[in-house]
Amino acid sequence: MPVDNSALNRRGEPHQQVVKQAIHWLLRLRNNATNSRLRQQCDVWRAEHHEHELAWQRVQSLQAELNSNLRAIPGAQVAFNTLENSAQGLGRRQALKLLSGALLMGSAAWLGKDVVGWQQWTADFATATGERRGFQLPDCSRLELNTASAVDLDYSAQQRLIKLTRGEIVVTCGEGVSFDRPLQVQSRHGLFESVAARFIVRQDADCTRLSVTSGMVAIHSPQTIDGLPTQVQAGQSYLIDRSRIQLAPPPNMDAGAWVDGLIVTRNMRLGDFINEVGRYRPGYLTCAADIANLRLSGVFRFEDTDRLLAILPQTLPVQLRYRTRWWVALERQA
């Protein structure tokens, strides 16, 4: 996987690929506790670069915090050890995902704080809350990840598959490149396939939204009529859930404007707008029920969400209440 050194330098944090290597060393050492040679090899790896040591310390700290939380839950440590022992016979990625499932046994506070970070470490490509990143894939397709998103790649001689495990992506494929197999994107609600197109896939808890900006994309799902794929043309959007596929209503927000750091709205409910802004900032952001149906239109930059929120009282009868930096409520103006 290519390492985005510019992103590393900008954030001052170890790249996710290096953190994966640290997790790999942790798993090997835990499964071979008496192997002194393996311990020496790990020490050499840690000394190779300051980023390696930083990633190692980060993983060790996360592991210690997980164990601490598990000790507070009766029986959870036994379950975790069982998972860990089962992981010994699996491949690295399978083991990482199996062990990361043990996070679900931690406290609610710990889970809410760190599960996204753990998912970032185990995914092939991922972004943190408020982060956007772009990647060139092995087949020259372009992949853009929105805030708090994660994907895994499964490329082989038989398929080109992007597995969306969290969040939202833009895929651009087929520009000047010819393949004998289509590019596929899989969400929990369906499979989307194209040879040449630009399209957006957003996976929410209850449905996936597909928006095609150029070319054509086929939707494969158990809900497709007569088992035939649904063909989606440029300019169309579809909603796919576990029971149906339906043409999406006219949008009140530009689906792909986030690539340019924008939220572009058209007569959008304030409550829906606040939910959208909340995707780009950590903490708790809420909108009072008595103002949720107010409407707004405009172009908003979300790179500084505090500045974005400060604009709202200038155009709407609302006020901001900061309980803490990370707990903000939008209320009716007094």
- Range 74-83 average pLDDT: 49
CA 250 from centroid of its chain's CA atoms: 26
DSSP-assigned beta bridge partners for residue 330: 287, 320
CA 272, 274, 277, 278 torsion: positive or negative?
Answer: negative
pLDDT at 308: 97
Do residues 290 and 201 both lie within one domain?
no
Contacts 24+ apart (CB under 8 A), 289-295: 290/332, 291/316, 291/317, 291/318, 291/330, 291/331, 291/332, 293/269, 294/269, 294/270, 294/318, 295/267, 295/268, 295/269, 295/270
Q: Tokens at residue 319, please?
A: 């006020």
Domain that holds residue 292: 257-332
Residues 72 and 95 placed together within one structural domain of the fold: yes
Domain boundary residue, one of 194, 213, 247: 247
Q: Please give the average per-residue pLDDT across 147-165, as a whole number.
A: 92
Domain of 281: which CATH number?
3.55.50.30
Q: Which of 122, 153, 186 is the last residue of a domain?
A: 122
Inside any domain, residue 128: no
Position 11 pLDDT exceeds 50: no
107 lies in the same domain as 139: no
Q: Domain ends where: 75, 93, 122? A: 122
User: Percentage of the chain surpassing pLDDT 70?
Assistant: 75
Does the residue 271 lie in any domain?
yes
Asked if residue 113 and residue 213 are part of one domain, the reply reads no
96-128: buried (b, 16+ CB within 10 Å) or exposed (e) per residue? bbebbebbebbeeebeeebebbbbbbbbbbbbb
As a whole number of Å, the CA-based R_g of the chain is 22
The domain spanning residue 191 has which CATH number?
2.60.120.1440
Longest dimension (CA), the chain: 69
Reading the block at residue 186, the tokens are: 């899989």
Q: Answer yes or no: do 241 and 262 share one domain.
A: no
Q: How confident is the model at residue 225 (pLDDT cuts 50, 70, 90)?
A: low
Query: How many structural domains compose the chain?
Result: 3
Beta strands in 150-244 (DSSP E): 150-155, 160-173, 183-186, 191-194, 197-203, 208-220, 230-233, 237-240
User: Helices then strands (H, E): number in the chain?
Assistant: 9, 17
Q: Answer yes or no: is 127 within a domain.
A: no
Mean predicted confidence (pLDDT) in 76-97: 50
pLDDT surpasses 60 at 117: no
